[in-house]
Amino acid sequence: MSGALEIDHLSQSYVDPYSKEIVTAVGDVAASIPEGQFVSLIGPSGCGKTTVLNIVAGFLQPSGGEVRVDGSAVAGPGPDRGVVFQDFALFPWMTVESNIAFGLKMRGVPKGERRNRAREMAGLVGLAGFEQKFPHELSGGMRQRAGVARVLATEPSIMLMDEPFASIDAQTRRVLQQEVLRIWSTQKPTVLFVTHDVEEAIFMSDRVIVLGNRPSTVQADIMIDLPRPRTWNQVQGHPEFVRLRAQLLTMLGVEDQDELNQNELDGPGTTNIATTSGTRKR
Ligand code: ADP
Ligand code: MG
């Protein structure tokens, strides 16, 4: 078994492209994540969630600290970590099947085996019958299913997801959240899931790590003890869910989810002004 993730005192500074000043986005983020755990990373817009995920993926070298997978330091991207992007990242000129098989092709898996595996994965994510379609022929929800299937096909021990459902309508999002949990329970990869949606974080996770305003540190690390398997019907009225939602919203310094969404829409630039002046802190 594998997929233990050690996030060891990460920090990340950027040069602001406008002011040329050095901005520390990630102050000090640490977490020890055992294999198979589903962990959400939540925090205000611009606090460095994507930055942390990109460091774990190996796309970005941290200014300080280290990430270890099963005890080995991450030096770049690797097949042990699969990344699901928000914008699906499908190749528009490839069929669903070829898109799902792409990671396997890169690894030299023979054609027949790739095809079988891609079809199996398409079935698993509810895309049976759509294997020969192109991305533009699919809805947003279906494209994201294909994006998830492509990552799952390579059986990574760690899955990294950055707001994977952010551009999908609310109803489809709930369906996909349930689907991803169902699939996760069959393969049980370790998951690091970035979101700014409190309900999504609670619903999906074994554990929610709350980051504060930048330079971000871990404000809270909360275990979610709701029973699994979970469906929205069971979870949404559960007293523990209601309690956790109120607790997380308070921690994030907002009245409700709409306020968080608005901050996200305004973009990090706007939030940053509020962040540095501390107006969003309670
Ligand atoms: P989040 O995903 O939590 O919204 P990000 O990790 O995208 O936050 O960004 C954290 C902060 O770092 C933001 O203030 C953002 O503007 C800044 N930042 C991110 N990437 C870069 C970059 N490549 N160059 C300069 N600043 C960046
Ligand atoms: Mg982000």
Side-chain half-sphere exposure of 51, counting CA atoms within 13 A: 27
* Distance, CA of 186 to CA of 66 (rounded, Å): 30
Specify the range with the lowest mean pLDDT, choosing from 14-28, 80-94, 108-122, 127-141: 80-94
Is 172 a domain residue?
Answer: yes
Is 118 a domain residue?
Answer: no
| pLDDT tens column, 179-227 | 899 889 988 999 999 999 999 999 999 999 999 999 999 999 999 999 9
Structure tokens at 170: 């609310």
Is 247 a domain residue?
Answer: yes
- For residue 1, the model assigns a pLDDT of 54
* 170: confidence class by pLDDT, cuts 50, 70, 90: confident
Q: Whose CA is nearest to atom 21 of ligand 1?
A: 14
Q: Whose CA is nearest to atom 14 of ligand 1?
A: 46
- Asked if 44 and 61 touch (Cβ cutoff 8 Å), the reply is no
- Asked if 207 and 185 touch (Cβ cutoff 8 Å), the reply is no
Asked whether 14 lines ligand 1 (CB < 6 A), one says yes
* 172: confidence class by pLDDT, cuts 50, 70, 90: confident
- Is pLDDT at 153 greater than 90 in this prediction? no
| Burial (CB count <10 Å: 0-12, 13-18, 19+), residue 218 | middle
Asked whether 10 lines ligand 1 (CB < 6 A), one says no
- For residue 88, the model assigns a pLDDT of 67
Asked whether 177 lines ligand 1 (CB < 6 A), one says no
* 174: confidence class by pLDDT, cuts 50, 70, 90: very high
Is 131 a domain residue?
Answer: no
CA of 11 to the centre of ligand 1 (A): 12
Is 17 a domain residue?
Answer: yes
Q: Whose CA is nearest to atom 13 of ligand 1?
A: 46
Report the run of H or E that residue 4 belongs to, with start and end.
Answer: none
Is 138 a domain residue?
Answer: no
Q: How many domains does the chain have?
A: 1
Range of the domain at 192: 5-80+156-277
CATH number, residue 192: 3.40.50.300
Is 246 a domain residue?
Answer: yes
What is the strand order of the sheet 5-15 is part of?
72-73, 64-69, 5-15, 22-33, 216-223, 207-211, 38-42, 190-195, 158-162, 81-84
Nearest CA-CA partner of 164 in 154, 152, 153, 173: 173
Q: What percent of the chain shows pLDDT beyond 70? A: 93
* Distance, CA of 59 to CA of 216 (rounded, Å): 20
Specify the range with the lowest mean pLDDT, choosing from 93-102, 166-175, 247-256: 166-175
Asked whether 212 lines ligand 1 (CB < 6 A), one says no
Is 53 a domain residue?
Answer: yes
| pLDDT tens column, 38-58 | 999 999 989 999 999 999 999
